[in-house]
Amino acid sequence: MTEREKFDFINSKRLAYLAEVPVNWCPELGTVLSNEEVPEQIEKGFTVIRKNMKQWNLRITKYADRLLKDLDELNWPNNIKELQRNWIGRSEGASIKFKTISSKLNVEQDIEVFTTRPDTIFGATYIILAPEHPLVKEITTDEKHDSIKSYLEKAEKKSDMERTELSKNKTGEFTGAFALNPFNGREVPILIADYVLANYGTGAIMGVPGHDERDNEFARKYNLEILPVVVPQNYKGDELNKFAESIKNGERCYTGFGFSINSDFLDGLNSEAAIKKIIEMVEEKGIGKKTVSYKLRDWLFSRQRFWGEPFPILHFEDGTFKALDESELPLKLPEVESYKLSGTGESPLATIDFWVNTVDKQTGRKAKRETNTMPQWAGSCWYYLRYLDPNNEDTFCDREKEKFWMPIDLYIGGAEHTVLHLIYARFWYKILYDLGYVSYKEPFGKLFNQGMILGEDGVKMSKSRGNVINPDDVIRDYGADSMRLFEMFMGPLEATKPWSTKGIEGLNRFLNRVWRLIVDENTGKIKENITDEAPDDRLKKLMHKTIKEVTEDIDELDLKFNTAISYMMIYVNELYKFEKISKVSVENLILLLSPFAPHIAEELWERLGNTDTIAFVPWPQYDEEYIKEENVTVIFQVNGKMRAKKEFKFDSDEHTLEDEALYNENVKKFILGKQIVKIITVKNKMVNIVVK
């Protein structure tokens, strides 16, 4: 793909565009905030309001289906994948038009609603518009002007997350206008409510309080009619009537599937058939269509900050704009002694005239640079690619290096990045894939979420609580190796656990034991009992078993760093019991320890007479011959339930194990008089007898 073809590809998808969109605006910080940034800034005492601003957006919604589908191929925690699915929020349904009736309207207007349950349209008793919906001001009657204006001002001060919180008290306001149900001509009131978002679906919903929990709560609060139009399949006669009556009285809300009632031509159809039928009718009448909607919104890509990647865009006096030529890149921020907020809603860059005002080198036309900057996510979406080829002056990454190293085998990060960095990074990478810059569809093969380290009081570390642990202090007192080792020894990597000063003291003592095992404290030389002799069988067995256990525990499939350290502790304790210690046995200890405590390992490695740095030494290998157990316990099962167990010599043959299982007195009780279907035998572990 040529550079021109790549440009045409981006342009055809309109992946970057300017649009007037509702944003979270913080006047004190002078910038737009993402929904996820809002709670933190409010907690700090900053004001956040909703307002419309012209902003750069990236059309991540073009990739919504691929972002969903490709999750299935990733070795990620299921809860993280589910969070991403929910964030993308793919919903199949229908968009349907309702005609409006308002004393303010001179011409007929339609309100288009989106619903995932079009089969419930006969139960719609009101319409709700998002406060930002463009029709709100057009249809609001004079009598309702003041109350609507007041409500809009309050809604402006809430973030999308606050507005859609399920537990929040639902609020709304009547516009004074009505809409006509297109299937029964029923007049229903049009209200506004902040739990409906302008950027989801059409920004308008039909309220069906009998069959939606939020609509039900809203209807009961404002005494709006509730109509039952769906009941469970197994309800008939009096039972059906009682169930429908309980919906009508607001005693229950039925959100499941079943069959339609009180719905004219849909009556008696099951929900799946009713949905199909109503969509056919909607399309036939020309008042709507089958639609797929997403909770995922296009990525608001502008920030009004000085620091951030500047957009390489020139704006001309006639309102047109263009991208800088590739030869003019990279565009860098201006070097200034200080900068200040613009006070106009623009970035501080807008106040730096010598940078903003420029001339297009290709046409000579006067122009102004784009003064918004990109969010921090712009860099975090693809930094890992630059690591592969950091000194390349021609491109961000050589294709052969990218093909060799990518995708990332293991990505360790906090769960807080689930719906920000991770979705954005996947989107960014897919664009690069479509453009032919990278070789794979996904950047991160396996994801692992590490747990959080709490303060010693068991609470999240916070300056205000005074429970923050300063790493510099810990390193000063105990050394970097002790800190690294303790953090990996505290518990499973994925677990949240409290810091313990006593715990790090214990790990510091362990490292001192390793040092004293090898180095004479008086002379600083290697101890005389460490010899070049080959280890005896007992030491060989201990050494190879330790290598095996540590190797398996630090494998990317397990990441059991805490138990790996425990095995090394056991090994060190055992080594102290030998009068003479083979040099190879302590060298292997140091190699195993080196990823955990690299500084002490490197020092000991050199003192043992090695000249190469330990980082380039191959990982030790274990010999299966030395890790065999002399005896093993084999369990006997019947239909998967343990009924007995017995010790055998290691690697006893399967026939011996099966015979012992069949003639075991306790097993006999459960197989007597029954047909044996098959016997499953796993050497050194178990015999499972499957019976009818």
Average pLDDT over residues 8-21: 76
Structure-model confidence comparison of residues 81 and 416, the more confident one = 81
- Are residues 669 and 639 in contact, defined by beta-carbon separation less than 8 angstroms? no
Residues 6+ apart with CB under 8 A from 551: 619, 620, 622
- CA–CA gap between residue 545 and residue 624 (Å, rounded): 9
Tens-digit pLDDT profile for residues 578-595: 999 999 999 999 999 999
What are the DSSP E strand ranges found in 503-630?
530-531, 581-582
Q: What is the pLDDT of residue 3?
A: 58
pLDDT-derived band at 12 (thresholds 50, 70, 90) equals low
Average per-residue pLDDT for the chain: 90
Tens-digit pLDDT profile for residues 385-403: 999 999 999 899 999 999 9
**Angle in degrees, CA 52, 55, 58, rounded to 5:** 125
Retrieve residue 642's tokens. Answer: 């343990």
Exposed e or buried b per residue across 352-376, where buried means at least 16 C-beta atoms within 10 angstroms of its C-beta: beebbeeeeeeeeeebbbbbbbbbb
**Angle in degrees, CA 94, 95, 97, rounded to 5:** 135
pLDDT-derived band at 105 (thresholds 50, 70, 90) equals confident
- CA–CA gap between residue 417 and residue 381 (Å, rounded): 12
Retrieve residue 377's tokens. Answer: 């996510």
Structural domains in the chain, sorted by start:
90-294 (3.90.740.10), 471-625 (1.10.730.10), 631-691 (3.10.20.590)
- Are residues 121 and 260 in contact, defined by beta-carbon separation less than 8 angstroms? no
Nearest to 98 by CA among 187, 175, 210, 172: 187
- CA–CA gap between residue 567 and residue 544 (Å, rounded): 12
Kindly report whether the peptide bond that precedes residue 407 is cis, defined as omega within 30 degrees of 0: yes
Indicate if the pLDDT at residue 610 is higher than 70.
Answer: yes
- Please tell me the pTM assigned to this model: 0.75
- CA–CA gap between residue 75 and residue 446 (Å, rounded): 5
Q: What is the pLDDT of residue 376?
A: 87
Provide the CB-side half-sphere exposure for 487 (13 A, CA).
20
- CA–CA gap between residue 643 and residue 652 (Å, rounded): 20
Average pLDDT over residues 597-615: 94
Average pLDDT over residues 504-522: 95
Secondary structure class of 259 (helix, strand, coil): strand
What are the DSSP E strand ranges found in 262-380?
288-294, 299-300, 313-315, 321-323, 357-359, 366-369
Which of the residue ranges 43-57, 241-255, 325-339, 611-625 would you say has the lowest mean pLDDT? 43-57
Tens-digit pLDDT profile for residues 593-602: 999 999 999 9
Indicate if the pLDDT at residue 7 is higher than 60.
Answer: no
Segment (H or E) for 176: strand 172-180
pLDDT-derived band at 1 (thresholds 50, 70, 90) equals low
pLDDT-derived band at 366 (thresholds 50, 70, 90) equals very high
Amino acid occupying residue 362:
Q
Secondary structure class of 679 (helix, strand, coil): strand
Nearest to 285 by CA among 537, 94, 484: 94
Instruction: Give 540's DSSP letter.
Output: H
- Beta bridge pairs of residue 224: none
Tens-digit pLDDT profile for residues 676-692: 989 999 888 899 999 98
Secondary structure class of 416 (helix, strand, coil): helix
- CA–CA gap between residue 228 and residue 175 (Å, rounded): 25
- CA–CA gap between residue 649 and residue 597 (Å, rounded): 39
Q: What is the pLDDT of residue 104?
A: 76
Secondary structure class of 2 (helix, strand, coil): coil
Strand order in the sheet with 49-58: 31-33, 16-26, 49-58, 299-300
Tens-digit pLDDT profile for residues 189-247: 999 999 898 877 789 999 999 999 999 999 999 999 999 999 999 888 899 999 999 99
Instruction: Give 311's DSSP letter.
Output: P
Average pLDDT over residues 167-181: 88
Segment (H or E) for 7: helix 3-13
Retrieve residue 504's tokens. Answer: 């790090």
- Beta bridge pairs of residue 507: none
Retrieve residue 54's tokens. Answer: 């012209």
- CA–CA gap between residue 545 and residue 110 (Å, rounded): 75
Nearest to 115 by CA among 183, 200, 22: 200
